[in-house]
Structure 1
Amino acid sequence: MGPDEEGWDIVTDTVREAGTEGASRTREFSELLRHHHRELGTTDPRDLDAIEMVTDLTRLEARLTKDFEKHVHRPLGLTWAGFRILNALWVYGPLAQQDIGRVSGSTRASISSALATLESRGLVTRQRVESDRRQLVVELTPEGSETLRAAIAAQTRRERAWTAVLRDDQLSELVHLLRTLVNQETPAED
Protein backbone atom coordinates (compact mmCIF):
# COMPACT_ATOMS: atom_id res chain seq x y z
CA MET A 1 0.00 0.00 0.00
CA GLY A 2 1.41 3.35 -1.04
CA PRO A 3 1.41 6.48 1.10
CA ASP A 4 -1.59 7.97 -0.70
CA GLU A 5 -3.69 4.84 -0.19
CA GLU A 6 -2.68 4.69 3.45
CA GLY A 7 -3.77 8.31 3.88
CA TRP A 8 -7.22 7.52 2.41
CA ASP A 9 -7.60 4.57 4.79
CA ILE A 10 -6.82 6.84 7.73
CA VAL A 11 -9.33 9.40 6.48
CA THR A 12 -11.98 6.71 5.89
CA ASP A 13 -11.41 5.24 9.35
CA THR A 14 -11.60 8.72 10.84
CA VAL A 15 -14.91 9.44 9.13
CA ARG A 16 -16.36 6.23 10.57
CA GLU A 17 -15.74 7.33 14.14
CA ALA A 18 -18.95 8.16 15.95
CA GLY A 19 -19.81 11.33 17.77
CA THR A 20 -18.21 14.75 17.87
CA GLU A 21 -14.65 13.54 17.43
CA GLY A 22 -15.50 11.90 14.08
CA ALA A 23 -17.35 14.99 12.89
CA SER A 24 -14.45 17.18 14.02
CA ARG A 25 -11.96 15.08 12.09
CA THR A 26 -14.18 15.16 9.00
CA ARG A 27 -14.21 18.97 9.16
CA GLU A 28 -10.46 18.86 9.73
CA PHE A 29 -10.04 16.77 6.56
CA SER A 30 -12.09 19.28 4.55
CA GLU A 31 -10.07 22.18 5.90
CA LEU A 32 -6.77 20.39 5.22
CA LEU A 33 -7.90 19.47 1.70
CA ARG A 34 -8.72 23.10 0.94
CA HIS A 35 -5.48 24.28 2.58
CA HIS A 36 -3.35 21.97 0.44
CA HIS A 37 -5.19 22.96 -2.74
CA ARG A 38 -4.64 26.63 -1.90
CA GLU A 39 -0.93 25.83 -1.57
CA LEU A 40 -1.10 24.42 -5.11
CA GLY A 41 -2.57 27.73 -6.27
CA THR A 42 -6.31 27.03 -6.28
CA THR A 43 -7.94 30.07 -4.71
CA ASP A 44 -11.34 30.33 -6.43
CA PRO A 45 -13.96 29.39 -3.78
CA ARG A 46 -16.10 27.65 -6.44
CA ASP A 47 -13.14 25.49 -7.50
CA LEU A 48 -12.44 24.60 -3.88
CA ASP A 49 -16.11 23.68 -3.37
CA ALA A 50 -16.03 21.53 -6.53
CA ILE A 51 -12.86 19.77 -5.34
CA GLU A 52 -14.39 19.04 -1.95
CA MET A 53 -17.70 17.91 -3.49
CA VAL A 54 -16.01 15.45 -5.86
CA THR A 55 -13.74 14.18 -3.08
CA ASP A 56 -16.70 13.71 -0.74
CA LEU A 57 -18.80 11.95 -3.40
CA THR A 58 -15.91 9.61 -4.18
CA ARG A 59 -15.41 8.81 -0.50
CA LEU A 60 -19.15 8.34 0.03
CA GLU A 61 -19.47 6.05 -3.00
CA ALA A 62 -16.68 3.84 -1.67
CA ARG A 63 -18.27 3.67 1.78
CA LEU A 64 -21.75 2.94 0.41
CA THR A 65 -20.47 0.20 -1.90
CA LYS A 66 -18.55 -1.46 0.93
CA ASP A 67 -21.53 -1.19 3.29
CA PHE A 68 -24.07 -2.52 0.76
CA GLU A 69 -21.75 -5.39 -0.18
CA LYS A 70 -21.35 -6.38 3.47
CA HIS A 71 -24.93 -5.93 4.71
CA VAL A 72 -27.01 -6.58 1.59
CA HIS A 73 -25.39 -8.28 -1.38
CA ARG A 74 -22.90 -10.78 0.07
CA PRO A 75 -25.54 -12.31 2.39
CA LEU A 76 -27.66 -12.92 -0.74
CA GLY A 77 -24.70 -14.36 -2.67
CA LEU A 78 -24.43 -11.26 -4.90
CA THR A 79 -21.76 -8.70 -5.65
CA TRP A 80 -22.30 -4.99 -6.23
CA ALA A 81 -21.81 -5.53 -9.97
CA GLY A 82 -24.24 -8.45 -9.93
CA PHE A 83 -26.88 -6.38 -8.15
CA ARG A 84 -26.48 -3.53 -10.64
CA ILE A 85 -26.89 -5.94 -13.54
CA LEU A 86 -30.03 -7.50 -12.04
CA ASN A 87 -31.39 -4.02 -11.35
CA ALA A 88 -30.71 -2.87 -14.93
CA LEU A 89 -32.49 -5.95 -16.32
CA TRP A 90 -35.43 -5.33 -14.01
CA VAL A 91 -35.72 -1.69 -15.08
CA TYR A 92 -35.08 -2.11 -18.83
CA GLY A 93 -36.10 -5.71 -19.45
CA PRO A 94 -33.94 -8.01 -21.59
CA LEU A 95 -30.75 -6.29 -22.80
CA ALA A 96 -28.00 -7.03 -25.25
CA GLN A 97 -24.93 -7.98 -23.22
CA GLN A 98 -22.92 -5.09 -24.69
CA ASP A 99 -25.59 -2.61 -23.47
CA ILE A 100 -25.50 -3.77 -19.84
CA GLY A 101 -22.35 -1.79 -19.01
CA ARG A 102 -23.85 1.44 -20.31
CA VAL A 103 -27.05 1.13 -18.29
CA SER A 104 -25.60 -0.47 -15.14
CA GLY A 105 -22.42 1.59 -14.84
CA SER A 106 -20.30 -1.57 -14.70
CA THR A 107 -17.06 -2.28 -16.54
CA ARG A 108 -16.87 -4.90 -19.30
CA ALA A 109 -14.65 -7.12 -17.11
CA SER A 110 -16.98 -6.99 -14.09
CA ILE A 111 -20.00 -7.62 -16.34
CA SER A 112 -18.47 -10.73 -17.86
CA SER A 113 -17.53 -12.18 -14.49
CA ALA A 114 -20.80 -11.20 -12.80
CA LEU A 115 -22.92 -12.56 -15.66
CA ALA A 116 -21.16 -15.92 -15.48
CA THR A 117 -21.93 -16.11 -11.76
CA LEU A 118 -25.52 -14.89 -12.14
CA GLU A 119 -26.15 -17.36 -14.96
CA SER A 120 -24.65 -20.30 -13.02
CA ARG A 121 -26.98 -19.46 -10.10
CA GLY A 122 -29.98 -19.36 -12.43
CA LEU A 123 -30.63 -15.64 -11.88
CA VAL A 124 -30.22 -14.65 -15.55
CA THR A 125 -30.28 -16.36 -18.94
CA ARG A 126 -28.22 -15.49 -22.01
CA GLN A 127 -29.59 -16.27 -25.46
CA ARG A 128 -27.96 -15.77 -28.86
CA VAL A 129 -29.78 -13.42 -31.22
CA GLU A 130 -30.95 -15.37 -34.29
CA SER A 131 -30.24 -12.52 -36.72
CA ASP A 132 -26.72 -11.95 -35.32
CA ARG A 133 -25.21 -14.99 -33.59
CA ARG A 134 -22.43 -12.80 -32.13
CA GLN A 135 -24.93 -10.99 -29.89
CA LEU A 136 -26.25 -12.27 -26.59
CA VAL A 137 -29.43 -11.03 -24.93
CA VAL A 138 -29.53 -11.25 -21.15
CA GLU A 139 -32.80 -11.68 -19.29
CA LEU A 140 -33.79 -11.89 -15.63
CA THR A 141 -35.21 -15.25 -14.51
CA PRO A 142 -38.03 -15.59 -11.96
CA GLU A 143 -35.42 -16.62 -9.37
CA GLY A 144 -33.36 -13.56 -10.34
CA SER A 145 -36.42 -11.36 -9.79
CA GLU A 146 -36.97 -12.87 -6.33
CA THR A 147 -33.31 -12.39 -5.37
CA LEU A 148 -33.44 -8.82 -6.65
CA ARG A 149 -36.60 -8.10 -4.60
CA ALA A 150 -34.82 -9.29 -1.45
CA ALA A 151 -31.75 -7.18 -2.31
CA ILE A 152 -33.86 -4.10 -2.99
CA ALA A 153 -35.70 -4.47 0.33
CA ALA A 154 -32.44 -4.85 2.28
CA GLN A 155 -30.71 -2.05 0.38
CA THR A 156 -33.68 0.27 0.92
CA ARG A 157 -33.30 -0.26 4.67
CA ARG A 158 -29.58 0.62 4.42
CA GLU A 159 -30.32 3.66 2.24
CA ARG A 160 -32.89 4.84 4.78
CA ALA A 161 -30.27 4.47 7.55
CA TRP A 162 -27.63 6.35 5.54
CA THR A 163 -29.97 9.24 4.71
CA ALA A 164 -31.52 9.54 8.17
CA VAL A 165 -29.19 12.48 8.93
CA LEU A 166 -30.99 14.57 6.28
CA ARG A 167 -34.36 16.28 6.55
CA ASP A 168 -36.87 15.39 3.81
CA ASP A 169 -36.33 18.71 2.02
CA GLN A 170 -32.54 18.27 2.15
CA LEU A 171 -32.79 14.78 0.69
CA SER A 172 -35.08 15.99 -2.11
CA GLU A 173 -32.70 18.84 -2.94
CA LEU A 174 -29.70 16.50 -2.92
CA VAL A 175 -31.51 14.12 -5.29
CA HIS A 176 -32.31 17.03 -7.61
CA LEU A 177 -28.71 18.32 -7.56
CA LEU A 178 -27.16 14.90 -8.14
CA ARG A 179 -29.61 14.19 -10.99
CA THR A 180 -28.54 17.48 -12.58
CA LEU A 181 -24.86 16.49 -12.36
CA VAL A 182 -25.39 12.92 -13.53
CA ASN A 183 -27.60 13.80 -16.51
CA GLN A 184 -25.37 16.47 -18.03
CA GLU A 185 -23.22 15.81 -21.06
CA THR A 186 -19.60 15.09 -20.23
CA PRO A 187 -17.91 18.51 -20.06
CA ALA A 188 -15.54 19.37 -22.89
CA GLU A 189 -11.85 19.21 -22.13
CA ASP A 190 -10.08 22.49 -21.36
Structure 2
Amino acid sequence: MTNENLEYRNFADFASSKVGELIPEADPTANRLSVALNRVSHLLTYDFDASIHRPEDSSWAAYRVIFVVWLAGPLTPARAAELTGMGKSAISNLLKPLLKQEYLIQEASAEDRRSKLLSLTPKGEEYINRIFPQQNKLEAKWSDSLTSIEQDLLISLLNKLLNGKRAEEVREQRR
Protein backbone atom coordinates (compact mmCIF):
# COMPACT_ATOMS: atom_id res chain seq x y z
CA MET A 1 0.00 0.00 0.00
CA THR A 2 1.37 3.44 -0.91
CA ASN A 3 0.87 6.53 1.17
CA GLU A 4 -1.43 7.90 -1.56
CA ASN A 5 -3.89 5.10 -0.74
CA LEU A 6 -3.74 5.73 3.00
CA GLU A 7 -6.92 6.78 4.73
CA TYR A 8 -7.93 7.07 8.33
CA ARG A 9 -9.84 3.77 7.99
CA ASN A 10 -6.96 1.69 6.65
CA PHE A 11 -4.03 3.23 8.51
CA ALA A 12 -4.07 0.57 11.29
CA ASP A 13 -3.56 -2.20 8.69
CA PHE A 14 -0.83 -0.19 6.97
CA ALA A 15 0.90 0.59 10.26
CA SER A 16 0.82 -3.07 11.27
CA SER A 17 2.54 -4.24 8.10
CA LYS A 18 5.03 -1.36 8.13
CA VAL A 19 5.94 -1.91 11.80
CA GLY A 20 6.58 -5.58 10.99
CA GLU A 21 9.01 -4.55 8.24
CA LEU A 22 10.80 -1.88 10.27
CA ILE A 23 11.01 -3.64 13.63
CA PRO A 24 11.10 -7.42 13.12
CA GLU A 25 10.74 -8.20 16.84
CA ALA A 26 7.64 -5.98 17.17
CA ASP A 27 4.17 -7.39 17.63
CA PRO A 28 2.32 -5.89 14.66
CA THR A 29 -1.01 -7.43 15.69
CA ALA A 30 -0.86 -5.75 19.11
CA ASN A 31 -0.04 -2.47 17.36
CA ARG A 32 -2.91 -2.93 14.91
CA LEU A 33 -5.33 -3.63 17.75
CA SER A 34 -4.26 -0.61 19.79
CA VAL A 35 -4.35 1.73 16.79
CA ALA A 36 -7.81 0.47 15.79
CA LEU A 37 -9.21 0.73 19.34
CA ASN A 38 -7.77 4.20 19.73
CA ARG A 39 -9.24 5.36 16.42
CA VAL A 40 -12.71 4.05 17.18
CA SER A 41 -12.58 5.60 20.64
CA HIS A 42 -11.58 8.98 19.21
CA LEU A 43 -14.31 8.87 16.56
CA LEU A 44 -16.94 7.93 19.17
CA THR A 45 -15.82 10.72 21.47
CA TYR A 46 -15.78 13.25 18.64
CA ASP A 47 -19.23 12.17 17.45
CA PHE A 48 -20.74 12.28 20.95
CA ASP A 49 -19.21 15.70 21.63
CA ALA A 50 -20.02 17.26 18.25
CA SER A 51 -23.49 15.77 17.80
CA ILE A 52 -24.89 15.98 21.32
CA HIS A 53 -22.83 17.59 24.04
CA ARG A 54 -21.28 20.72 22.50
CA PRO A 55 -24.65 21.87 21.08
CA GLU A 56 -25.90 21.68 24.69
CA ASP A 57 -22.94 23.79 25.93
CA SER A 58 -21.58 20.70 27.61
CA SER A 59 -18.97 18.05 26.87
CA TRP A 60 -18.62 14.29 26.70
CA ALA A 61 -16.46 14.47 29.85
CA ALA A 62 -19.10 16.43 31.79
CA TYR A 63 -21.80 14.02 30.61
CA ARG A 64 -19.77 11.06 31.90
CA VAL A 65 -19.61 12.60 35.38
CA ILE A 66 -23.33 13.39 35.41
CA PHE A 67 -24.07 9.89 34.09
CA VAL A 68 -22.21 8.07 36.89
CA VAL A 69 -23.69 10.33 39.58
CA TRP A 70 -27.14 9.72 38.08
CA LEU A 71 -26.73 5.95 38.19
CA ALA A 72 -24.49 5.37 41.23
CA GLY A 73 -24.63 8.59 43.27
CA PRO A 74 -24.26 10.18 45.68
CA LEU A 75 -20.51 9.77 45.17
CA THR A 76 -17.30 11.30 46.36
CA PRO A 77 -15.30 13.03 43.62
CA ALA A 78 -12.67 10.28 43.96
CA ARG A 79 -15.29 7.59 43.38
CA ALA A 80 -16.68 9.53 40.40
CA ALA A 81 -13.13 9.65 38.98
CA GLU A 82 -12.78 5.90 39.43
CA LEU A 83 -16.13 5.07 37.80
CA THR A 84 -15.62 7.41 34.84
CA GLY A 85 -12.02 6.34 34.31
CA MET A 86 -10.89 9.94 34.68
CA GLY A 87 -8.17 11.32 36.89
CA LYS A 88 -9.03 13.13 40.12
CA SER A 89 -7.72 16.41 38.69
CA ALA A 90 -9.99 16.06 35.63
CA ILE A 91 -12.99 15.55 37.93
CA SER A 92 -11.94 18.54 40.00
CA ASN A 93 -11.76 20.72 36.88
CA LEU A 94 -15.14 19.47 35.63
CA LEU A 95 -16.87 19.98 38.98
CA LYS A 96 -16.51 23.77 38.97
CA PRO A 97 -18.70 24.33 35.90
CA LEU A 98 -21.09 21.47 36.80
CA LEU A 99 -21.66 23.01 40.24
CA LYS A 100 -21.98 26.50 38.74
CA GLN A 101 -24.48 25.24 36.13
CA GLU A 102 -26.37 23.64 39.03
CA TYR A 103 -26.32 20.14 37.53
CA LEU A 104 -24.61 18.81 40.65
CA ILE A 105 -24.39 19.77 44.30
CA GLN A 106 -21.57 18.89 46.65
CA GLU A 107 -22.50 18.31 50.28
CA ALA A 108 -20.79 16.95 53.36
CA SER A 109 -21.31 13.23 53.94
CA ALA A 110 -23.53 12.30 56.89
CA GLU A 111 -21.04 9.56 57.88
CA ASP A 112 -17.88 11.66 57.54
CA ARG A 113 -18.35 15.44 57.57
CA ARG A 114 -14.90 15.89 55.98
CA SER A 115 -15.94 13.86 52.95
CA LYS A 116 -17.93 15.57 50.19
CA LEU A 117 -20.60 13.80 48.14
CA LEU A 118 -21.80 14.72 44.67
CA SER A 119 -25.51 14.48 43.90
CA LEU A 120 -27.69 15.46 40.98
CA THR A 121 -29.85 18.52 41.34
CA PRO A 122 -33.33 18.68 39.78
CA LYS A 123 -31.71 20.61 36.91
CA GLY A 124 -29.13 17.82 36.56
CA GLU A 125 -31.89 15.21 36.52
CA GLU A 126 -33.73 17.14 33.80
CA TYR A 127 -30.47 17.38 31.83
CA ILE A 128 -29.66 13.66 31.99
CA ASN A 129 -33.27 12.65 31.26
CA ARG A 130 -33.19 14.85 28.15
CA ILE A 131 -29.66 14.02 26.97
CA PHE A 132 -29.41 10.30 27.71
CA PRO A 133 -32.00 9.27 25.07
CA GLN A 134 -30.08 11.28 22.44
CA GLN A 135 -26.80 9.74 23.58
CA ASN A 136 -28.27 6.24 23.51
CA LYS A 137 -29.69 6.70 19.99
CA LEU A 138 -26.24 7.69 18.76
CA GLU A 139 -24.69 4.72 20.57
CA ALA A 140 -27.22 2.48 18.80
CA LYS A 141 -26.21 3.95 15.42
CA TRP A 142 -22.61 2.98 16.14
CA SER A 143 -23.67 -0.48 17.36
CA ASP A 144 -25.82 -1.13 14.28
CA SER A 145 -22.67 -2.02 12.32
CA LEU A 146 -22.55 -5.25 14.33
CA THR A 147 -25.02 -8.07 14.81
CA SER A 148 -26.25 -8.65 18.36
CA ILE A 149 -23.90 -11.65 18.65
CA GLU A 150 -20.97 -9.52 17.46
CA GLN A 151 -21.92 -6.79 19.94
CA ASP A 152 -21.93 -9.31 22.79
CA LEU A 153 -18.61 -10.75 21.63
CA LEU A 154 -17.00 -7.33 21.36
CA ILE A 155 -18.25 -6.36 24.82
CA SER A 156 -16.85 -9.62 26.19
CA LEU A 157 -13.48 -9.07 24.52
CA LEU A 158 -13.24 -5.44 25.65
CA ASN A 159 -14.11 -6.50 29.20
CA LYS A 160 -11.35 -9.10 28.97
CA LEU A 161 -8.90 -6.30 28.11
CA LEU A 162 -10.29 -4.14 30.94
CA ASN A 163 -9.79 -6.98 33.42
CA GLY A 164 -6.36 -7.99 32.15
CA LYS A 165 -3.11 -7.71 34.05
CA ARG A 166 -1.90 -4.55 32.30
CA ALA A 167 -5.22 -2.76 32.80
CA GLU A 168 -5.03 -3.54 36.52
CA GLU A 169 -1.45 -2.23 36.68
CA VAL A 170 -2.50 1.02 34.99
CA ARG A 171 -5.52 1.42 37.32
CA GLU A 172 -3.18 1.01 40.29
CA GLN A 173 -0.84 3.71 38.88
CA ARG A 174 -3.77 6.11 38.61
CA ARG A 175 -4.79 5.75 42.26
Q: Confirm whether residue 57 of structure 1 aligns to residue 37 of structure 2.
A: yes
Aligned match for 1:33, one of 15, 28, 40: 15
Once residues 18 and 165 of structure 2 are traced to their aligned partners in structure 1, the CA distance between those partners, rounded to angstroms, is 30
Quick one: structure 1 residues 51 and 134, their matched pair in 2 at CA, closer, same or farther if it must change by over 3 Å?
Answer: same
Where do 1:8-157 residues align within 5 Å? 14-15=7-8, 26-27=9-10, 29-38=11-20, 39-42=22-25, 47-129=27-109, 132-157=112-137
- Are 1:76 and 1:147, in contact at CA under 8 Å, matched by a contact in 2? no
- Aligned residues: percent identity? 25
Once residues 63 and 12 of structure 2 are traced to their aligned partners in structure 1, the CA distance between those partners, rounded to angstroms, is 32
Q: How big is the shift at 1:132? A: 4.7
Cα displacement string for residues 33-82 of structure 1 (whole angstroms, at most 9, x for unaligned residues): 12221121236xxx322211111111111111111011111122221221
SS of equivalent to 2:125:
helix
Quick one: structure 1 residues 183 and 152, their matched pair in 2 at CA, closer, same or farther if it must change by over 3 Å?
Answer: farther
Whichever residue aligns with residue 161 of structure 2, its letter is: L
Cα displacement string for residues 153-188 of structure 1 (whole angstroms, at most 9, x for unaligned residues): 111111111122212211111111111211334366
Whichever residue aligns with residue 40 of structure 1, its letter is: I
Number of residue pairs the alignment of both structures matches: 164
Give the alignment's Cα RMSD to 1 decimal: 2.3
- Are 1:42 and 1:48, in contact at CA under 8 Å, matched by a contact in 2? no
SS of equivalent to 1:165:
coil
Whichever residue aligns with residue 168 of structure 1, its letter is: S
5+ residue gaps, structure 2: 1-5, 171-175
Once residues 126 and 42 of structure 1 are traced to their aligned partners in structure 2, the CA distance between those partners, rounded to angstroms, is 52
Q: TM-score, normalised by structure 1?
A: 0.76
Cα displacement string for residues 17-44 of structure 1 (whole angstroms, at most 9, x for unaligned residues): xxxxxxxxx33x233212221121236x
